[in-house]
Amino acid sequence: MLIVACLCMEASASQVTKLPQGADMSEIAFDLCKTGSRLNCIVDGDTLWSNGIKIRIADIDTSEVGAPHCAAEKALGDHATVRLKELVNAGPFQMQAWRGRDEDKYGRKLRVLVRDGRSIGDMLVSEGLARTWGGKRQPWC
């Protein structure tokens, strides 16, 4: 039993070391996620994969693209997804830990993406493509 616990702790530690928290992300090129392997790609306006780890941008909420409730939500979500791809590929940024929790209920790492002292999430909010995360989802339709 102790061996199993040690192996689980070792696996968790190796995943944390692969996650580029606070690291300069200038060497990674992100594309839109497709089916299959998800190493470095954009899922939607507030979710991406980095080094094989799923990241939820913790300081914002964007509309859904996978199961939208109306056409306007889908269109806004698609726009936010493309814009996030542009922003993360525009230059170096860092991933910073979210206050309070490391993961959401879906197992995604909670991170704030920061470039030059400004949250990339805030950039999406200022462009009308996201909302500041208030702890609860709000309808987009």
Residues taking part in catalysis: 56, 64, 108
Residue 139, sorted as left (phi over 0), alpha (psi -120 to 50) or beta, turns out to be beta
Give the distance from CA 33 to its chain's centroid.
12
DSSP string, 10-22: HHHHHHHHHS-BT
Separation between Cα atoms, residue 129 and residue 83, nearest integer Å: 8
Separation between Cα atoms, residue 76 and residue 128, nearest integer Å: 9
Residue 83, sorted as left (phi over 0), alpha (psi -120 to 50) or beta, turns out to be alpha
Cβ-based neighbour number of residue 22 at 10 Å: 12
